[in-house]
């Protein structure tokens, strides 16, 4: 899949106004796209088809599922219903049970009211508290008590103690009367359910822009049969290989190759290019783009589930399905709080039982367990990550691996490829030279173009463009293959040729004019040679343009204390010239893929490494680096190996990513302090450390403070912004 410049960023921005009408689709579906070619994948092996996109785009958010942590799921509609039912049941509990041991003027306490409250509280406990018990069970089965275990412990202890209080007061008539915690229990469950509802809404709203892409595709396609008859079918029934008719003004239903007709196709919603692109026989079109005034007949190469848009959505969903290290840290903190609360609660119970009596010790222990509920801690990281992922997508940054964002503060080196990363990757042939008397310059160009036909490498594109401009005839090449980092090889008219780099000549000890090479390279050209066996037949020297934002990127990296390094397979002279133009001092040239990967490992020995690249030869380095960042216009294998994808291929977006990652880290740290800091203070207070001066923290007061902490965490996460690079 090739990600066109700027398109998805623009589309996400266009769709931003409709985000709240859409829900996150298949939040827990994992799309493994490693090694897949979208022209070869079977429908059963891929993500969602277009009809699913359409159906899910119209789905109410109440129908969505959400992962509540550590694998335990909660259905959005069920949670919403549980909250409202629990709220309704809580109202009579509030009216009939004492709050913090006090009967308020508006409360209605009468003989038998305790039993009614106990019945309502029991329903609340088992119905409203079920999500927390299921989550706690999953955590304990994995021997990792965390947030759900803490919540379940607090709610469970409050319920058991309250049932004990009702029985003790009404059957055994103990004195003094034992205060129950049904008021606290019911409000605590409602607060917790409301908190999760808020979390799920925030997460889904944060990511809904991704699913807006699915609405680009039409609902039907006009299929042409062998007799030329048209049949309208649902897009979900469209198959690769079928022929479709695309009328003027219609959206193109799927990725396809034009068989006949011509038209100006508007790809702005997909590629970001405002100018319509002329398309004719043999050209490819992307599903979701809009046909102009002409009529097209095209063969489908990628359907709704295997086409370009589906793969883009799969990339984004991959990132959302991964759990970051900070989230794991939050779980570990919650686990520590669980053990701390358990220890402090038991210790407080023993101490108060010793210095007072059971009637005092039990409420204190209950207070510790109830107050330890870590809801704010549970929201601290997920909300920030969801917000940052959505902001990144809306600004042309596809985050495939969220853990990468957490390593930005430790970065020491930024290793980057030259072609396509710092330069435009749009080569123009400046010199065409025949080095063999039996071939003219145009024949050299024709042979090279014949070998490069079908290649997407920037140098190959430059050769093909020059051949087309000169109207050079091409001969079909057979048995073509690429040797990464060396060149393209194949057989033309029975002779085996290769379009190779100077590395190949040196490795095979082939004779060439070194002075000529240096002269062309000094001009900033990348040089390719045509060889046949041991004979060098000719060369092309192609020039590239440096991207406008490249120098700004290098300057920004240096300002942040990150050392920029250029790694390229190009010749040393050209690499030096480009590096000097953008301000890079450390330059490594004439590298093979394994050389780049080796250098990444060497630099990792000195600190964290960011690698930026776009080609097949960059894929090992992208996978090896602490943060691999692929230029969006790069090759499929590079994109699949990266953690971050720059959709617009603009170096300025690297700066934007670094700023966003640092802002995300700050917000996560702040939220973790809010979430964990509350518990660190509240648990000792609930245990009675200030009892000697007459202060005891009531569970309900703790629950109210806890809910305020949750709201603060949510608001803090939503205030995360992305800084625009001028």
The CA distance from 628 to 414, in Å, is: 10
Say how far apart CA 82 and CA 195 lie, in whole Å. Answer: 12
> What is the C-alpha to C-alpha distance for residues 303 and 49, in angstroms, rounded to an integer?
8
Residues contacting 417, CB < 8 A, separation 6+: 566, 567, 568, 612, 613, 614, 615, 618
Q: Smallest Cα–Cα separation from 22: which of 67, 57, 46, 49?
A: 57
Which H or E run contains 498? strand 495-500
Catalytic annotation, pick one of 255, 331, 417, 570: 417
Helix (H, G, I), strand (E, B) or coil at 552: helix
| Backbone dihedral angles phi then psi of residue 284, each to the nearest 5 degrees | -100, 150
Please provide the size of the chain in residues.
726
Q: Hey, what's the torsion of the CAs at 354, 356, 362, 365, to 10 degrees?
A: -70
- At 110, list the tokens: 């009468």
Read off the tokens for 549.
């934002």
Structure tokens at 579: 């590096």
Helical H segments across 142-181, by residue range: 147-170
CA distances, 409 to each of 265, 476, 585, 627, 659 (Å): 44, 52, 23, 12, 10
Q: Measure the CA–CA gap between 399 and 432, rounded to whole angstroms.
A: 42
Helix or strand run (H / E) with residue 123:
helix 113-123
First to last CA, the chain: 30
Q: How far is CA 705 from the centre of its chain?
A: 33
Whether the CA torsion 379, 383, 386, 392 is positive or negative: it is negative
Q: How far apart are CA 585 and CA 579, in angstroms?
A: 7
Phi and psi at residue 45, in whole multiples of 5°?
A: -95, 5
* Cα(510)–Cα(487) distance, integer angstroms: 15
Say if residue 176 is preceded by a cis peptide, omega within 30 of 0.
Answer: yes
Token pair 């590298």 in the structure block, residue: 591
Could you tell me where the DSSP H helices lie in 240-357? 268-271, 308-320, 325-355
**Exposed e or buried b for every residue in 267-302, given b needs 16+ CB within 10 A?**
bbbbbbeeebbebeeebebbbbbbbbebebbbebbb
37 is catalytic: no
Strands 478-483, 608-613: parallel, antiparallel or unpaired by DSSP?
unpaired
Between the alpha carbon of residue 229 and those of residues 222, 243, 244, 245, 705, the distances in Å are: 9, 11, 10, 10, 69
DSSP state of 528: E
SS3 227: coil
Helix (H) or strand (E) holding 714: helix 699-718
Nearest residue to 308 (alpha-carbon basis) of 284, 326, 325, 291? 284
- What residues are labeled active site? 417
């Amino acid at each position: 899949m090739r990600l066109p410049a700027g398109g998805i960023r623009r589309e996400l921005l266009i769709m931003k106004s409709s985000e709240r009408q859409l829900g996150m689709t298949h939040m827990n579906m994992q799309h493994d796209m490693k090694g897949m070619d979208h022209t070869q994948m079977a429908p059963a092996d891929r993500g969602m088809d277009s009809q699913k996109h359409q159906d899910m785009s119209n789905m109410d958010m109440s129908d969505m599922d959400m992962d509540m942590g550590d694998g335990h799921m909660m259905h959005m509609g069920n949670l919403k219903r549980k909250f409202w039912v629990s709220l309704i049941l809580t109202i009579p509990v509030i009216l009939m049970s004492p709050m913090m041991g006090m009967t308020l003027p508006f409360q209605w306490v009468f003989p038998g009211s305790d039993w009614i409250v106990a019945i309502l509280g029991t329903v609340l406990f088992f119905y409203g508290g079920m999500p927390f018990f299921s989550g706690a069970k999953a955590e304990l089965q994995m021997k990792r008590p965390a947030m759900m275990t803490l919540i379940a412990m607090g709610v469970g202890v409050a319920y058991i103690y309250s049932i004990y209080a009702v029985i003790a007061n009404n059957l055994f008539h103990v004195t003094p009367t034992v205060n129950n915690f049904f008021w606290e229990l019911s409000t605590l469950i409602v607060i917790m359910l409301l908190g999760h509802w808020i979390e799920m809404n925030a997460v889904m709203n944060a990511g809904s822009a991704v699913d807006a892409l699915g609405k680009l595709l039409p609902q039907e396609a006009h299929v042409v049969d062998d007799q030329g008859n048209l049949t309208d079918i649902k897009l979900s029934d469209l198959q690769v290989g079928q022929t479709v008719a695309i009328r003027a003004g219609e959206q193109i239903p799927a990725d396809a190759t034009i068989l006949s007709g011509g038209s100006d196709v508007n790809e702005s919603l997909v590629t970001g290019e405002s100018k319509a692109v002329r398309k004719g026989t043999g050209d490819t079109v992307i599903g979701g783009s809009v046909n102009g005034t002409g009529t097209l007949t095209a063969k489908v190469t990628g359907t709704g589930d295997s086409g370009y848009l589906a793969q883009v959505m799969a990339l984004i969903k991959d990132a959302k399905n991964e759990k970051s290290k900070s989230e794991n840290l939050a779980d570990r903190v919650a686990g520590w709080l669980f053990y701390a609360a358990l220890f402090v609660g038991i210790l407080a119970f023993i101490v108060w039982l010793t210095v007072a009596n059971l009637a005092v010790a039990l409420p204190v222990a209950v207070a510790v367990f109830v107050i330890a509920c870590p809801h704010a801690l549970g929201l601290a990281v997920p909300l920030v990550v969801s917000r940052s992922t959505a902001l990144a997508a809306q600004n042309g940054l596809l985050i495939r691996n969220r853990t990468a964002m957490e390593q930005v503060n430790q970065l020491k080196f930024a290793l980057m490829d030259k072609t396509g990363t710092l330069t435009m990757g749009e080569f123009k042939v400046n010199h065409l030279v025949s080095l063999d008397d039996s071939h003219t310059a145009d024949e050299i160009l024709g042979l090279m173009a014949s070998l490069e036909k079908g290649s997407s490498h920037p140098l190959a594109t430059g050769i093909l463009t020059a051949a087309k401009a000169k109207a050079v005839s091409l001969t079909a090449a057979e048995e073509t293959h690429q040797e990464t980092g060396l060149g393209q090889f194949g057989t033309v008219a029975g002779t085996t040729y290769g379009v190779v780099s100077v590395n190949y000549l040196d490795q095979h000890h082939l004779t060439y004019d070194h002075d000529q090479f240096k002269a062309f390279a000094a001009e900033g050209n990348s040089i390719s040679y045509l060889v046949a066996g041991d004979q060098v037949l000719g060369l092309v020297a192609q020039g590239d343009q440096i991207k406008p934002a490249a120098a700004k990127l290098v300057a920004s990296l240096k300002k942040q204390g990150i050392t920029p390094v250029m790694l390229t397979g190009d010749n040393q002279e050209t690499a030096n010239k480009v590096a000097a133009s953008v301000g890079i001092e450390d330059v490594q040239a004439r590298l093979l893929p394994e050389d780049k990967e080796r250098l990444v490992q060497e630099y990792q020995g000195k600190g964290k490494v960011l690698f930026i690249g776009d080609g097949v030869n960059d894929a090992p380095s992208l996978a090896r680096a602490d943060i691999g960042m692929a230029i969006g216009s790069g090759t499929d294998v590079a994109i699949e190996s990266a953690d971050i994808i720059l959709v617009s291929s603009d170096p300025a977006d690297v700066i934007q990513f670094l700023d966003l990652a640092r802002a995300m880290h700050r917000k996560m740290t702040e939220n973790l302090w809010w979430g964990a800091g509350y518990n660190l203070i509240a648990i000792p207070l609930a245990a009675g450390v200030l009892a000697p001066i007459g202060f005891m923290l009531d569970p309900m007061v703790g629950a109210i403070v806890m809910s305020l902490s949750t709201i603060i965490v949510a608001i803090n996460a939503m205030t995360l912004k992305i800084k625009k690079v001028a």
